[in-house]
Chain A
Amino acid sequence: MAGHNHHHEESFISKYVFSQDHKMISKQFLLTAIVMGVVAVMLSIFFRLQLGWPGESFSILETFLGKWAPDGVLDRNAYLALVTIHGTIMVFFVLTGGLSGTFSNLLIPLQIGARDMASGFLNMLSYWFFLVSSVIMIFSLFVEGGAASGGWTVYPPLSALPQAMPGSGTGMTLWLISMVLFVASSLLGGLNYIVTIINLRTKGMKMTRLPLTIWAFLVTAILGVLSFPVLVSAVVLLLMDRSMGTAFYLSDIHIGGEALDVTGGSPILYQHLFWFLGHPEVYIVLLPALGISSEIISTNSRKPIFGYRAMIGSILAIGFLSFIVWGHHMFVTGMNPFIGSVFVFTTLLIAIPSAVKAFNYITTLWKGNIKFTPAMLFSVGLVSTFVTGGLTGIILADSALDVNVHDTYFVVAHFHIVMGMSAIFGMLAGVYHWYPKMYGRLMSTKLGYAHFWITLVCGYGVFFPMHFVGLAGAPRRYYDYSSFEFLDFVADFNPIISVFAIVGGIGQLFFLFNFFYSIFRGQKSDANPWKSNTLEWTTPVERIHGNWPNELPVVHRWAYDYSNPAYDEDFVPQIVPLKAGEEEH
């Protein structure tokens, strides 16, 4: 693939639909993720209406949800279905498929100096698996009995037994099928990313000269390739328990007035399998965002990223550790306390590389010359949410404390801030920053400002108070908090949180408008609008197959020579040869 570079005429279909060009596939991922994101945000607003004003009637609910919201009041089962699909879409479709799919595809070939992915065909397949699984997931909202409702983790036996809840019927089957296809997409994508990064780097692009984005994508892809197959096993065993009379996860159950015919399995087995993926998954979500923000913070501070090697080291350390901490999700399943202790230890270890990253970001800002592009604002916001959310992880990692806050709103606050907000910020930052590479135009800066400040304030406004709700003992996945006197205080919080959620959701219109409007009417971009060092800015603005019209660029230095005192300009692209006597950093 690499090396050939002829311009043949392409049909509309091969250019826009079944494209094998990484830049087009990246845009396909992005657009799909935006659609999925809009759905997921809308779902969250629907159930936030119920939480904010329990039992009140909202005609908008009836309009959208029909029989699931009779008289405008959300049904109890539908509430759980919405929460489940919201979480599933956000984690898997927006922040895994969407985030990695968009930016790994766009940036890997462009930043390492390759003409395309190692296999354009697998890359295309990866997108189509992703699209089909997205469609199935959305479709599952409309089937009899409703969508899967057992939470995004779909623990059996709840998810294994259609008798247990309406959402465990057809909706659950579709959820599982969708996930299998999703994993296929991730694996195809991930293998391609790894192979491309290892094999197709241009001349001079040593591993130690790779931008941190690429390091992050590489480790992310490795995590995915190693952990997603385990999810498939979990899911396939669950499908078999559901439809083939096996009992991998079922034991001693009496339900629906009848003793279950099969027995001998363990529901806990599923949790081990699920979280063996599930924890690496949160880093699959987070690492690309961290890589993106490293790049953007360095570029817009006009400073080298501080501690490049330490940043790589911490990405690797986080990646490795993420495989041996899954038990921290299972402290109260009756797991042996000693094993619990081991997981406490490994989990808290992750805080060390995370702290290193946070301090390195901050030091990068120190004495910088910071240009506040919207991408930069989101990246700085990401550092804040990463720190704020990461700190509460210390509480959750401490088994003795987790007993008390496990499955409460404290957890909801924690993961939304550290994973939800951070990764979304990273993704949005990436969109603003690399929009010129996708569409040859720039998004509006002013609208970007409005978008950022609304999103930051509303994001913290929604999730920060949830810490207090959880610490006071309010469980998550509750349809209504008015049944118990000691939870009456939740009524102080919920309407305010919901208003923040609604305003924040509407604030996303700034982004949507800006995004689609600028495709057609945005200002035409220069080749290197942010004065950045990395290779993607050496390609022509008019996107072409093969990325570089002539020879591939040759790399002479690392990606972070910003404000190098040896040069007048405050940036030195990677293709600029070292001066005589200049030492590389």
Chain B
Amino acid sequence: MKLFILLVVVVGIVAIAQLARVYELTARLRKTKEEDISYADNRLNAKLWLLFMVLFYAGFIALIVKYGDYLPVSASAHGEGVDKLMDFNMYIIIAVFFVVNTLLFVFASKYYYRKDRKAKFFPHDNRLELFWTIVPSIVLAVIIIFGLRTWNEMTGEAAPDALRVEVYAKQFDWTVRYPGDNNEFGLANYNLISTTNPLGIVTKEGIVESLEAIETELATLKADVENERGVLLREKAEIEEELHPSHGHGDGHEMSAERKAHLEARLHEVESALNSGNTTVLSEEAYEAKKDKISRLERHIQRIMEIEDFSYESNLRAWEAGTDDRIVKGEFHLPVRKEVEFIFRSRDVIHSAYMPHFRAQMNCVPGVPTRFKMIPTITTDSMRLVMNNPEFDYILLCNKVCGAAHFNMAIKIVIDTPEQYEAWLKEQAEYVAKEETAPAVEPEAAESVEVVVADSQTAIVE
């Protein structure tokens, strides 16, 4: 292939150089003017328009035949309406495509220049213009009405008893959360995100754990900064200068005893720190970076302290609602013919949850949860039969550029019968599972489904 490309490049360049030479010579010989397009040239281009048209249409039709129906039937209820709408619009635009392009190419090829003819002087015709203003308007009105009807159907409120599932995006994978037996999601807060709490679910334990982790980090940082050798030495020098001014001005300002005691105490501290052997040596930038990080962590603590423990929407205390949530990665299951309302969130940048087989897509926007509802209609097993492909799987893939591995950010969707679904869901651990009651994850399931639980032994380390 590479050779082929190289060949094309070389041949192309040589050909152009040759052509240019030939052109220069012939132009000299012919003594014709560039702007006088000869009869032969006009006719040639006229014929080329027709040839192009035929090839273009042939290519288009071949593509329609081979790839016209590439996605299988819609696996969601609203998707059937979408597909109908798509077909309807496609018929219209394909028809218009052929009609208008044909008119264009045929006119271009038919009316090429001949000396003895004069073009028809036809500057305007109000009836004609009205006609092609009104006809498109009517067609578009139909398209708009049909389109908005489908749109309203798919974007209406989800049924109150719909299954709610949270799809959570981050660079570069997906996490899915089910609300658990109480049918309510626990609150989540990005300030609590950690390796053991990937969604930042608000629980008492989570908060304590986060605060402890931050305090530990803060303590180390503070120790580093306070024991920075350069800083300590500078402070020591300053204190000594103040206590024993090198050029005694003696201008009468005696230091107060209080101040003096304070300085001496501090000097003692600084000296003992310097002698302790625990000092660090930091570059200017590293020192600043650490101080910066300290203030960030302090604000982080502040934000954690401000987390509300109450969800007005559901009237539940957060730390009760979240404990039974179930969190899965790698694949997630949904029951067939049950309405599901997705809630999409993102941790870092915008992603987009794209489920082409379900004709569904919604962006995942940090800070702004989004929703999309649908009713899956075909189980994975049935779809495998339809497709005649035992390997087939539904998929949710990222469709908003989000970084280097954007092209590889997907999660498998499995549509189950209700019984299969219930069985699968039971196997998924609750978020705060007591160690003794943690359900044993079956080895088979554990291979494909990574279950994240708060228990640090089984947690997935990112």
A residues sitting closer than 8 Å to B (CB atoms) are 49, 53, 56, 58, 76-77, 80, 150-151, 155, 157-158, 161, 164-165, 250-255, 258-259, 261, 263, 265-268, 301-310, 332-334, 337, 340-341, 344-345, 348-349, 351-352, 355-356, 358-363, 365-373, 377, 380, 383-384, 387-388, 391-392, 394-395, 398-401, 403-404, 406-408, 442-447, 449-450, 453, 456-457, 460, 464-465, 468, 471-473, 475, 477-481, 483-486, 489, 495, 499, 502-503, 506-507, 509-510, 513, 517, 521-523, 525-526, 529-530, 560, 562-565, 570, 585
Known: A370-B111, A371-B113, A387-B104. A475 touches B119 (CB 8 A): no
B303 at interface by CB-CB < 8 Å:
yes
Distance A401 CA – B370 CA, assembled complex (angstroms): 18
Q: How far is the CB of A171 from chain B (nearest CB, A)?
A: 14
Cα distance A404–B107 in the bound complex, in angstroms: 37
Beta-carbon contact of B41 and A395 below 8 Å:
no
Contact A334 B105 (CB under 8 A): no
Cα A334 to Cα B364 with chains together (Å): 9
* Nearest-CB residue, chain B, relative to A355: B136
| Size of interface on B: residues with Cβ below 8 Å to A | 127
Q: For the complex formed, measure the closest distance between the CB of B373 and the CB atoms of chain A, giving whole angstroms.
A: 11
- Asked if residues A352 and B140 are in contact (CB atoms below 8 Å), the reply is yes
Q: Are A53 and B27 in contact (CB under 8 A)?
A: no
Q: How far is the CA of A499 from the CA of B82 in the complex (A)?
A: 34
B365 contacts partner chain A, Cβ-Cβ < 8 Å: yes
A344 near B144 with CB under 8 A, answer yes
Given the known inter-chain contacts A259-B193, A340-B155, A445-B34, please indicate yes or no for A388 contacting B97, CB distance below 8 A. yes
Complex Cα spacing A298 to B288, Å: 68
Smallest CB-CB A-B distances: 9 pairs:
A251-B367, A334-B370, A473-B356, A472-B70, A337-B155, A478-B407, A367-B120, A372-B45, A529-B35
Chain B: minimal CB distance from A157 (Å): 5
Q: Which of B42, B46, B86, B367 has the most CB of A within 10 A?
A: B367
B391 at the interface (CB under 8 A from A): yes
Q: Which of B35, B122, B137, B344 contacts A304 (CB 8 A)?
A: B122
For A585, list chain B residues within 8 Å (CB): 123-124
B81 to chain A, nearest CB (A): 8
Q: How far is the CA of A333 from the CA of B118 in the complex (A)?
A: 56
Known: A253-B347, A253-B348, A344-B144. A365 touches B124 (CB 8 A): no
Name the B residues within 8 Å of A563 (CB-CB): 118-121
A157 and B366 form a contact (CB under 8 A): yes
Q: Is B251 an interface residue (CB 8 A)?
A: no
Q: Out of B55, B103, B140, B405, which one reaches A76, CB within 8 Å?
A: B405
14 additional A-B residue pairs with CB within 8 Å, beyond A306-B123, A310-B124, A365-B104 = A76-B404, A253-B190, A253-B348, A340-B151, A367-B122, A370-B46, A370-B111, A372-B45, A395-B93, A444-B27, A479-B406, A503-B8, A509-B16, A513-B16
User: Which residues of the partner chain A approach B405 to less than 8 Å between Cβ atoms?
Assistant: 76
Interchain nearest-CB distance for B207 vs A (Å): 13
Q: Distance in Å from the Cβ of A325 to the closest Cβ of chain B? A: 13
Distance of A298 from chain B, by nearest CB (Å): 10
Q: Which of B12, B89, B137 contacts A401 (CB 8 A)?
A: B89
Which listed segment binds A: B232-240, B257-265, B394-402, B441-449?
B394-402
B41: chain A residues at CB < 8 Å are: 372, 445, 449
* Residues in B99-149 with C-beta less than 8 Å from chain A: 100-101, 103-105, 107-108, 111-114, 117-125, 128-129, 132-133, 136-137, 140, 143-144, 147-148
- Segment among B18-26, B218-226, B319-327, B452-460 that sits at the interface with chain A: B18-26
Q: Separation in Å of the B166 CB from the closest CB of chain A?
A: 14
- CB contacts under 8 Å to A, within B362-417, are 362-363, 365-371, 391-393, 395, 397-408, 410
A275 to chain B, nearest CB (A): 14
Chain A nearest CB, measured from B376 CB (Å): 16
**Contacting residues, chain B, for A349 (C-beta < 8 A):** 140
Query: Is A158 a contact of B113 with CB atoms below 8 Å?
Result: no
A329 to B354 Cα, complex, angstroms: 16
Complex alpha-carbon distance, A158 and B399, angstroms: 14
Work out how many contacts link A and B, with CB atoms closer than 8 A.
395
User: Which B residues are CB-close (under 8 A) to A392?
Assistant: 93
At the interface, yes or no: B360 with Cβ under 8 Å from chain A? yes
On whether the beta carbons of B403 and A365 are closer than 8 Å, the reply is no
Q: A255-B347, A268-B365 are in contact. Are A164 and B171 (CB under 8 A)?
A: yes
> Would you give the shortest CB distance from A321 to chain B, in whole angstroms?
13
Listed by A's residue number, 17 A-B pairs whose Cβ atoms lie within 8 Å are: A252-B190, A254-B347, A258-B296, A302-B113, A334-B371, A372-B46, A388-B101, A394-B140, A395-B90, A400-B154, A401-B89, A478-B406, A485-B391, A486-B395, A503-B12, A506-B13, A562-B119
Of the listed stretches B56-64, B277-285, B424-432, chain A binds: B56-64
Chain B residue numbers with a CB within 8 Å of A400 are 81-82, 85, 147-148, 150-151, 154
Contact call A266/B152, Cβ cutoff below 8 A: no
Tell me the smallest distance from the CB of B445 to a CB of chain A, in Å. 22
User: Who on chain B is nearest to A444 by CB?
Assistant: B23
Contact across chains for A352 and B107 when beta carbons are under 8 A apart: no
- Are B117 and A151 touching (Cβ within 8 A)? no
CB pair A404–B20 under 8 Å, yes or no, is no
Quick one: which of A355, A358, A565 has the most chain B CB within 10 A? A355
Contacts of B120 in A (CB 8 A): 303, 366-368, 563
Judge whether B368 and A308 touch: CB under 8 Å: no
B103 contact set on A, CB distance < 8 A = 362
A267 — which chain B residues lie within 8 A by C-beta?
Answer: 350, 365-368
Interface residues of B in 167-216 (CB under 8 A from A): 171, 189-191, 193, 200
> Given A370-B113, A445-B41, A471-B71, do A253 and B107 touch, yes or no (CB 8 Å)?
no
Q: Which residue of B lies closest to A365 (CB)?
A: B107
State the Cβ distance, A354 to closest chain B Cβ, in Å. Answer: 9
Shortest Cβ distance from residue A289 to the other chain B in the assembled complex, whole angstroms: 16
**A395 x B89 contact (CB < 8 A):** yes
Asked if A473 and B150 make an inter-chain contact with CB atoms under 8 angstroms apart, the answer reads no
Per-residue A-contact encoding for B63-99, CB less than 8 Å = 1, 0 else: 1000110110000000001100110011011001100
Q: What is the bound-complex CA distance between A49 and B59, given in angstroms?
A: 23
Partner of B119, one of A301, A355, A394: A301
Would you call B352 and A332 a contact (CB within 8 A)?
yes
B299 interface residue (CB < 8 Å to A) = yes
